[in-house]
Structure 1
Amino acid sequence: MNSPKWLLLSFKKRVTLKRIFLFVIVVLLYGECVCFFIDRYFWIDLPCEPAPNNPCTRILFVADPQIIGVNDGDSYTNFIRIWDSDRYLYYSYQHAVSHLKPNVIVFLGDLMDEGSTSTIKEYLKYLKRFHEIFDVSYDVQYIYIPGDNDIGGEFGDWITPEKIFRFEHILSGNQSKRIEYNEYLTFYKINRLVQDYHHGGMDDEEIPSQIRIILSHMPLTNIGFVDSSIKRIKPNVIFSAHNHVPYSIVYDTISEEREFKKIDFSNEIYIAHLKTPKIFEYVVPTCSYRMGVPNMGYGAAVLDNEHGDLKYTIYWIHSRFLILHLYLISLFSIFIMILLLTIIKYLRAMCRRYGKTKNGKNITDYVPVSQNVC
């Protein structure tokens, strides 16, 4: 059995401040950079090869980012939470955009945590941060849907014309509620919070596109009173959010039956043939790690505009809390290593100070070199 002195000597030789510094660099590099590339490595490629007569459309869905407000939490630590959450959203979003190369990016509401309760001055600051996180300089179609955190509507937070105005005019730039993307595809923005289902010109002969997509913050096909809107627009597919966890609903327009299906944490492609009597709804998960759910991600879809085939998947992203726990464990380990190095240094100093024998010789002369901690 090795003696304690030998163990201390072995630790002193193997653990140095340079190696501790290198350990810190590796952990930070993994937590702040490498893990995003690992996420992306497992994302499925959705084939989309546009041809002159058969274009396809790539769509990225961003749900419930809820960027942190200045009034949320302890003012002394809130800036750290804001910085960390914003970076997480920024890098995951950049990787999702780079991987899918979307033609359309849809923000499905709850964009700001305090969007509904903030002053106009705070709102403009949040809007600036939002555009810094979610870069809107790409040459794509952007679509913005309001959520309850953006305009109110839940828990006594009343919806007002002022809140609706600043979202529709300041954030989304007075965007139309009906967006004809091309000759094959039209998007319809539904606001269930204010029961706004009036888009005008919904008769079949007046709808120029073959595929109709409804975008809503709150799910629609599991709520009975909105069925009149669904029957009026006759959508092929619906994308919604709000619940933070992903699932799908298939609504049969003939039997009026609904089939719920949970979407598990897996890299699966969900295929929907849209030119059928069924309506497909996909609830997109949150992309923020602050929503109290274990799995976060971005929705990604590729639509064959001519044939009406939709391929949908989720770009899952890692849990930030696991990385933060890794940092805590690493910090504790570094503390222990530095503490042991300090103890060894102290013992060496004690040996030099009090290690003289009666004959004037150093006590370390009687200790084998392999066991000498001095």
Structure 2
Amino acid sequence: MYIMAKSPGNWLIRHASVKSITVTVLVLTLFVNEYLVYWVQSSRWPVFPEVDRQKEMVVLLVSDPQLQGIRDEPGFPVGMVARWDVDRYLSKTFQLAYSYSQPDIVVFLGDLMDEGSKASPDEYQSYFTRFNSIFHSAKKSKLDVSLHTDVPRGTQEKLKEYKSKMNSPFRVIISHETMLPKLKVYIYPIIKEIKPQLLFSGHWHKSMHFVCDSCLSDNADTSHWPVHRRELSDINDYMYLDLTNSQGIQELMIPTCSYRMGVTDIGYGVAIINKEKTVRYTVLWLPRRYDVLYAYIFVVIFLLIFNIFGKLCFPKLLYNYRPYYKYR
């Protein structure tokens, strides 16, 4: 009596096909690139510390999402796919960061749209709708001050109005453009009125920390800031900031959260602000999307080659296959 011997190799040859292998590779690639990559990256974020919500405020900081517009992007279908992909990336990563931090407030640090200044009313409305679909709504108060020129007329009065409403000894300035690296003559009128201990900024698309131990002191020098800077591209845990120095200011620059900005290190900032003038801060680094897109290109090229040669060679493999029979 003859029976066919069973083995994994025999089963694979009898059941595999070019089509089934192609589908399997595509499904695995999608799973890795659209789920596993995000899970692995978020699992590397530091453990969220214990927070006393009576004394501390958790702030999620979002900088430079710069939603891609229509005019400066390629035409259909490339531009549409590019906008769809970056919107999905921002939405997915923001939801992960929001779930991680459960913030009391979300602060957007500007450059929300890439083409907002040149958009038509209808285009601007479409960008605004996209923005709201990606991020949670946030209430805003606005004070526009250009930091490259002298302080505009009326700004001092506005600052004094704000100052009259401030009753907290702990003060924070939120700005799109970085402040401490700029010339003192442009910044000191604002700093003197508000007297902040902490600044949040974006614009450079980088993660940095600026420290000035005497920026609130009376100094006749209108050009010099004794500012020290440190790059935070390697931060992987919470750093501690002591802001009790009455003459000092510290500034945290938040990196961009969009992979379209041409930098590899992107993320969201998380600050835990204590009313005792201390801050714990970290960056939630995000997956490098371009690596994933390159992986898609590699897989597509591989599957094209596999299908071409597979259709030529696979039928011969099946034709030459001989089951192994064993006599009993």
TM-score > 0.5 by shorter chain: yes
* CA distances 1:43-85 after superposition (whole Å, capped 9, x unpaired): 123424326xx52100011111010101122212100100001
Which aligned pairs between 1:197-276 and structure 2 lie closer than 5 A? Answer: 197-198=155-156, 199-201=158-160, 207-224=166-183, 225-253=186-214, 254=217, 256-276=225-245
122-131 or 253-262, which deviates more: 253-262
How far apart are 1:244 and its partner, in Å? 0.6
How far apart are 1:322 and its partner, in Å? 0.2
Give the counterpart letter for 1:214 in structure 2. Answer: I
Report the Cα distance in structure 1 between the residues aligned to 2:82 and 2:297, rounded to whole angstroms.
16
**Could you say which residue in structure 2 is the equivalent of 1:24?**
26
SS in 2 for 1:18: helix
**Could you say which residue in structure 1 is the equivalent of 2:71?**
71
Report the Cα distance in structure 2 between the residues aligned to 1:293 and 1:68, rounded to whole angstroms.
16
Q: Is the 8 A contact 1:46 1:311 kept in 2?
A: no
**Could you say which residue in structure 2 is the equivalent of 1:290?**
260
**Could you say which residue in structure 1 is the equivalent of 2:58?**
58
Which aligned pairs between 1:14-163 and structure 2 lie closer than 5 A? Answer: 16=17, 17-50=19-52, 54-76=54-76, 77-136=78-137, 142=138
Cα–Cα, structure 1 residues 176 and 368, in superposed 2: closer, same or farther, change >3 Å? closer
SS in 2 for 1:311: strand
**Could you say which residue in structure 2 is the equivalent of 1:327?**
296
Q: Is the 8 A contact 1:109 1:217 kept in 2?
A: yes
Give the counterpart letter for 1:132 in structure 2. Answer: S
Report the Cα distance in structure 1 between the residues aligned to 2:198 and 2:111, rounded to whole angstroms.
21
How far apart are 1:203 and its partner, in Å? 9.4
Q: Is the 8 A contact 2:160 2:193 kept in 1?
A: no
SS in 1 for 2:250: strand
**Could you say which residue in structure 2 is the equivalent of 1:192?**
147
Identical pairs, percent: 27
SS in 2 for 1:294: coil
**Could you say which residue in structure 2 is the equivalent of 1:281?**
251
Q: Is the 8 A contact 1:59 1:105 kept in 2?
A: yes
Cα–Cα, structure 1 residues 93 and 66, in superposed 2: closer, same or farther, change >3 Å? same
338-347 or 126-135, which deviates more: 338-347
Report the Cα distance in structure 2 between the residues aligned to 1:206 and 1:344, rounded to whole angstroms.
78
Cα–Cα, structure 1 residues 368 and 273, in superposed 2: closer, same or farther, change >3 Å? closer
How far apart are 1:340 and its partner, in Å? 2.7
Q: Is the 8 A contact 1:236 1:280 kept in 2?
A: yes
* CA distances 1:159-185 after superposition (whole Å, capped 9, x unpaired): xxxxxxxxxxxxx4xx355xxxxxxxx
SS in 1 for 2:159: coil
Report the Cα distance in structure 2 between the residues aligned to 1:110 and 1:127, rounded to whole angstroms.
13
SS in 1 for 2:127: helix
SS in 2 for 1:211: coil
Q: Is the 8 A contact 1:273 1:310 kept in 2?
A: yes
Query: What TM-score do you get using the length of structure 2 for normalisation?
Result: 0.82
Report the Cα distance in structure 2 between the residues aligned to 1:320 and 1:246, rounded to whole angstroms.
18
Structure 1: give runs of 5+ residues left out of the alignment.
1-8, 137-141, 144-171, 178-188, 352-363
Give the counterpart letter for 1:229 in structure 2. Answer: I
Q: Is the 8 A contact 1:192 1:216 kept in 2?
A: no
Highest RCO, 1 vs 2 (Cα 8 Å, sep ≥ 6)? 2
The number of aligned residues is 298
Report the Cα distance in structure 2 between the residues aligned to 1:331 and 1:11, rounded to whole angstroms.
23
Q: Is the 8 A contact 1:265 1:316 kept in 2?
A: no
